[in-house]
Amino acid sequence: MNRLLTLLFGRLPIGWLQLSHSRGRLLAAVAGVGFANLLVFMQLGIMGALNNSTVAPYGLLNADIILSSQEGNTLTDSGHIPRARMFQALGVAGVAEATALYIGNLPFTLEDGSTVSLLSFGLDVTKPQFASLPLVDTIQRLSLENTVMLDKGTRGMPETVIDQLVAGGRLSFETGGNTFTAIGTMDMGGGFLADGMMIMSDQTFLRAFPSRASGAPNHILLRTVDGVSIDAVVARLRGALPEGNLRIQTMLESAANDQAYMSTKRPTGIIFGFGVFMGILVGLVIVYQVLSTDVADHLREYATFKAMGYGQPFFLGIVFEEAIILAVFGFIPGFMVSLGLYAGLNSVTGLPVAMEAGRAVLVFLGTLAACSLSGAIATRKLANADPADLF
C-alpha cells in the first residue's frame, strides 16, 4: 500500500501513514464514510424508483402528443377532459391520429383474501398503433368482452398465476361486480401508486368503472404525420384548441414534468431528497471529525514541518491525501452493501430499484468532494498558526 501511494502521490504517503497508525480509528472512519454512502445510495435508489415508476406507464403507449386536464398532476394522477377535444385536434394540420386514454385504479382480491391494486388503462384496441411495440400484436385480442392483460410484475401476485398466464393459460377473477379474464401478460412492475398494471379495451374499462363516462377520458393521445415537427404541431394545437382547462404537451415533456412534480412537490420526493442531504451532512461531519482530530494529534509534527519552511499547500496535500483515502475506502463497502440492499428491496417490494452507473459515479465524486471539503476545513487551524505557538 505504501509503495502504491508513494507512486501515486510522488512522495512519502504521510496521510496514509498517519491514518494507518491507529487502525481502530481508521476502521471507524471508513465505516462512517461507508454508512454515509449507504444512506445516500438508498435515498437515491428509492428516488430513482419513484421516478422510474412514475414514467413507467409511458412505456405502454406510443404517441407523440398528449392532451390532459390542467387539474391533473401526472399521467396517472389526472383529471378528465372532454372527448370533443380529440375531434377538434384531428382538424389541426399535422395531426394524423387520435385516441382517448382512460386510467383508473382497480382492486383485485386474491384467493388468499389479500387485495392488490391494479393501475388500469383503457385503450381503443382498434387502434393498436397507440400501444407500445411489444403490445401491438397482443392488444387486439382484448377486443373480446371483459378480457385484460395483467402485469406479471404485480406485487403480491402468486407466481403460479403468472406462470399459468405466460404459458398461455387464462385467469378469471371478479372485481366490482364484474368478471374479467386475463388472457396474457405484460412486464411493467409495481410502483408507489399501485401494485401492478392492467391494460384492457376502453369498453371493458367503462364496464369496470361504471361511474366513468366515455365522453370524459383522462387523456387524449395524438400521433403526428410522419416527417412533421412535433413541436410545430403542439404550437398549432395551442392556437387552435380552446384555452382554459387543457394542457398540451409532447410525450417527452409530459414524462419530464411528471418526474419533476413527483420529485419536488409530492411529500415522498421531498422526503427522499432530504434524506440525501442528511446523508451528505453525516458524511461531512464524520470525515471532518476524523481529520480535525488527526490534525490536532499531529500538531507538533506539522509545526516542525512549518518551522522547516513547508507552506500551507503541503499541509493541504497531506489532509487531502487522507480525505481521498477515506473517500475511496468508505465508498467501496457502501457501494457493495447498497447493491445487496437494492436487490433485496426489489425482490420484496417489486419497486424498480437498481444501481445505475451514473448514480455510482455521482456518489463517488460527491464523496470525494465532501471529504476534500472536510479536509480543507480541518486545516484552517494550521493556516495562520505560528510554529512557536504549536509546541
Please give the residue that has the higher pLDDT: either 333 or 271. 333
DSSP β-ladder status, 171-175 and 196-201: unpaired
pLDDT in tens, 223-276: 999 989 999 999 999 999 887 788 999 999 999 999 888 888 877 777 877 877
Residue type, 228: V
Output the CA torsion 108→194→79→52 (10° steps): -150
Please give the residue that has the higher pLDDT: either 333 or 312. 333
Measured from the Cβ of residue 390, the count of other Cβ atoms closer than 10 Å reads: 16
CA proximity to 279, closest of 370, 373, 377: 370
Residue 160: is its pLDDT beyond 90?
Answer: no
DSSP β-ladder status, 147-151 and 178-186: parallel
66: enclosing H helix or E strand: strand 65-68
DSSP-H helix ranges across 117-250: 133-139, 159-166, 202-208, 230-240
pLDDT in tens, 93-108: 999 999 999 999 888 7
pLDDT in tens, 179-237: 888 888 888 877 777 888 899 999 999 999 989 999 999 999 999 999 899 999 999 99
For residue 206, the model assigns a pLDDT of: 93
Lookup: cell for 309: 519552511
For residue 124, the model assigns a pLDDT of: 92
For residue 219, the model assigns a pLDDT of: 95
pLDDT in tens, 8-66: 777 777 778 877 777 887 888 888 888 888 888 988 888 888 888 888 889 899 999 99
- 65-79, 168-182, 243-257 — which is least confidently predicted? 168-182
DSSP β-ladder status, 115-123 and 196-201: parallel
Please give the residue that has the higher pLDDT: either 384 or 182. 182
SS3 breakdown of the chain: % helix, strand, coil, rounded to 5?
Answer: 55, 15, 25
Greatest extent of the chain over all pairs of C-alpha atoms, in Å: 91
With beta carbons less than 8 A apart as the criterion, state whether 258 and 74 touch. Answer: yes
For residue 390, the model assigns a pLDDT of: 58
For residue 384, the model assigns a pLDDT of: 63
CA distance 284 to 149: 49
CA distance 99 to 219: 9
pLDDT in tens, 142-153: 988 889 998 888
Q: What is the spatial order of strands in the sheet that 247-250 belongs to?
A: 171-175, 178-186, 147-151, 196-201, 115-123, 95-109, 219-224, 65-68, 247-250
With beta carbons less than 8 A apart as the criterion, state whether 359 and 196 touch. Answer: no
Indicate the pLDDT class of residue 372, thresholds 50, 70 and 90: confident
One DSSP character per residue, 277-311 reads HHHHHHHHHHHHHHHHHHHHHTHHHHHHHHHTT--
Residue 117: is its pLDDT beyond 80?
Answer: yes
- pTM for the full predicted model: 0.76
CA distance 276 to 189: 25
For residue 385, the model assigns a pLDDT of: 63
Mean pLDDT, the chain, whole residue set: 85
